[in-house]
Every structure is written in structure tokens, then in C-alpha cells.
Amino acid sequence: MKAAHSVTDLVAAGLMTPAAGEAVAAVADRYAIALTPYLLETLADAAPGDPLYAQYVPSPEEAYTAPEEREDPIGDVVRSPVKGIVHRYPDRVLLKPLHACAVYCRFCFRREMVGPGGEALSPEELDAALAYVRAHPEVWEVVVTGGDPLLLSPRRLSHIVRSLSDIPHVGVVRLHTRIPVADPARVTAELVEALKAPELATWMAVHINHADELTEPARGAIARLADAGIPLLGQTVLLKGINDDAAALEALFRGLVRNRIKPYYLHHPDLAAGTSHFRPTLAEGQALVKGLRGRVSGLCQPTYVLDIPGGHGKAPAAPGWVRPDGEGGYVAEDFTGATHRYRG
């Protein structure tokens, strides 16, 4: 089975009717489509309401751009001093070696920048990006993202990781990827070995939005990473109609922890063009996060975050649990909703 990269491919795979394909033609002209053979097989019997189907198969709603939506919703461009680098926080940078992904999520905040055949940094451009890191001793952590860096060959990944390892002030490399749940067979022993280098701590953040993504092949890929000693973090986007209820989030976060992934961030969806149908309100997200506090342990609690538009970074978006009482003390709310005075 071949990967799907067009509406024609999706129709041929039985994931949409010809009429549905015509309805998303304008969307397909603007935003990239890609589903791996693994996902095509996984979704063979799925319908449009399926939580995995909705993440990867285009819908007519994407043709609408809300007034508040942006081409660059989190300000990558304004924070990019050299090609391939985004420097938003003092002690860490993003390194984007390529703009291609194995799959294209319909809610992606970089959907205007990524696509099939997405541009990769040339050797000279990668050298310049690494030189930038080398010239900034305040940079302690390098987040390798994109696109999806695990699309690179093990040889190229090893070159990047070992080049960062040679920079004395870099202590951590963190790779962001969808590959373990989008193309798990790609996570080979050779690829895993390429992610490690002396004198450098390798971490990986895996983007997973629903417990149904934790299939047997995905769990195997995750285990290969964890067994190699690579600490794993979970990145999740809060998505209307996919995971915006407490039971779905509880199942997901317990599933992640069961597979040795620490839930890290629960992202409020960014203001990417054509994604308003995925976005709950902040109030709805805060209520969900509050409801999780008593349902699952601290191991299963990510930080709910809002990426402030314009390149200003992430802010915790959770409701306030401890607040001033107006009398010099505080009121603390427990997971049942009961409040308690605190003086201290």
C-alpha cells in the first residue's frame, strides 16, 4: 500500500466518496495531505466522526479562515534570526532541519509552512544554524522539530545530534515527532541509536491526541525508544470533537503513562488558518483541566498551555487553584471544588 498525498488517493483508499472529495478540493489545493500506509490501514473502517480520521482527513470546514486566525500563529518568523532557527526563549532554540512530515494534521499550527517535498536545510544552511547555537552560550537546550525530524535518515539525525553534542554549553536535545503513532515501523534500532550521543541528554516529545492512537505497533515503537533510555514526553492538542471531554483525556493520559510517556503539554489549539472548528474555548479547556485534577494522578497531569500569538511564548492556561481572599490571605480550592482559607 502506498501513502496517500491527494484527495484522489483518499477516494481510492475508501476514506471519502468522490462527492466528499469534490467538497474538499479547495482545501487540498491550499493545505498538504499525507497519510502513511500504516494509517491508511488503521483507518480502513473509520468514518468521519472517528477521532483519528478527523485528525488526518481534510474537511470542508478548513476552507473557512476566521478573522483572528494567522498564517504564522505563534510567531516563528519574527523569532527566526537565521534560517532553521527559532529563538523565542533565552536558554533554548528550535532547530528545524526540514519542513516535511509523514502525516499532515488538519489542525497543524505550521500548516502554511509544511508540505510534501518540504524544504530541508542544505548542508550550508544547517552549518549556519549550528553556528548560531555555537555562538550563543546561553542556549542549553535545542528542540529539533520541523516538520518531523524523524523523517530524516539515521545518518543525518546522527550528524545533527552529534554536532550538538560537540557544543559544550548544549546539555539537552529534545526531538518533537509524530512518527511513533503515524509510521511506527520507521522507529528502527538504527534510528533509535542515531538519537544518542556522548555528553548530551536526548529527550523526545511524542505528539499523541487520543488513546486510540496507542495501537500495538505504536506501543512497540514507543517501547523501543523507552528501552533505549530515551525519556519520553507527551504533547497533546485539545481538539473539539476528538478529545474535549474528561473521559477521553483520562484514557489518553493513563495510556501515555502506562507506556512510559509523561504527559507534558496539553496545548490549546493555535490560531492557524482554517482550524476554528477544532478549537474549544479557553473556559471549556480550563473546566476540563480542573475536572481531571481529581480523576488522575499527578503523573497523568500535563500543563495546559496557550501559545501567545505573535511569538511571545507559552503561558499556563489552567484555572487558578489558589487566589487572594482580599483579606491578606488566600483561598485554596481542592479537587472536589471545596474552598479552604490559607494563611502563611
Burial of residue 214 (number of CB atoms within 10 Å: 0-12, 13-18, 19+) = buried
- Quote the cell numbers at residue 191: 534510528
For residue 17, give the C-alpha cell: 466518496
- Residue 49 pLDDT: 86
Residue 90 has pLDDT above 80, yes or no: yes
Predicted confidence at residue 318, as pLDDT, reads 83
Q: What is the pLDDT of residue 118?
A: 67
pLDDT tens figures, 164-220: 999 999 999 999 999 999 999 999 999 999 999 998 999 999 999 999 999 999 999
DSSP 229-290: T--EEEEEE--TTTT-SHHHHHHHHHHHHHTTEEEEEEEPPP-BTT-GGG---HHHHHHHHH
As a whole number of angstroms, the distance between CA 43 and CA 40 comes to 5
pLDDT at 99 > cutoff 70: yes
Pairing of strands 314-316, 303-307: antiparallel
Q: Which residues belong to the active site?
A: 88-89, 92, 101, 105, 108, 110, 270, 307, 314
Q: pLDDT averaged over the chain?
A: 94
**What is the rounded distance in angstroms from the CA atom of residue 273 to the CA atom of residue 270?**
9
Please spell the DSSP secondary structure of 284-323, one letter per residue: HHHHHHHHHTTTS-GGG-PEEEEE-TTT--EEE-PPPSEE
Write the pLDDT tens digit of every residue in 314-330. 999 988 888 888 888 88
Span between the terminal Cα atoms of the chain, in Å: 64
Give the pLDDT of residue 128. Answer: 98
pLDDT of residue 57: 97
Using N-to-C axis directions, what is the helix angle for 123-134 and 154-165, rounded to 10°?
20
The answer to whether residues 60 and 106 touch, using CB atoms and an 8 Å cutoff, is no
Q: 331 near 322, Cβ under 8 Å?
A: yes
DSSP state of 98: B
Does residue 334 register a pLDDT over 90?
A: no
Q: For 340, phi and psi rounded to 5 degrees?
A: -140, 135
CA separation for the pair 118, 114 (Å, rounded): 6
pLDDT band, very low/low/confident/very high, at 106 (cuts 50, 70, 90)? very high
Mean pLDDT computed over 223-228: 98
How many CB atoms lie under 10 A from the CB of residue 307? 22
The arithmetic mean of pLDDT across residues 22-46, rounded, is: 95
Give the confidence band of 117 by pLDDT, cuts at 50, 70, 90. low
pTM of the model: 0.94
Residue 162 phi/psi, 5-degree rounding, is: -70, -30
Do residues 255 and 248 touch, judged by C-beta distance below 8 A? no
Model pLDDT, residue 333: 86
What is the number of residues in the chain? 344
Helix, strand, coil shares, percent, the chain, to 5 = 35, 20, 45
So what's the pLDDT on residue 162?
98
Instruction: Out of 158-172, 271-285, 305-319, pick the least confident.
Output: 305-319
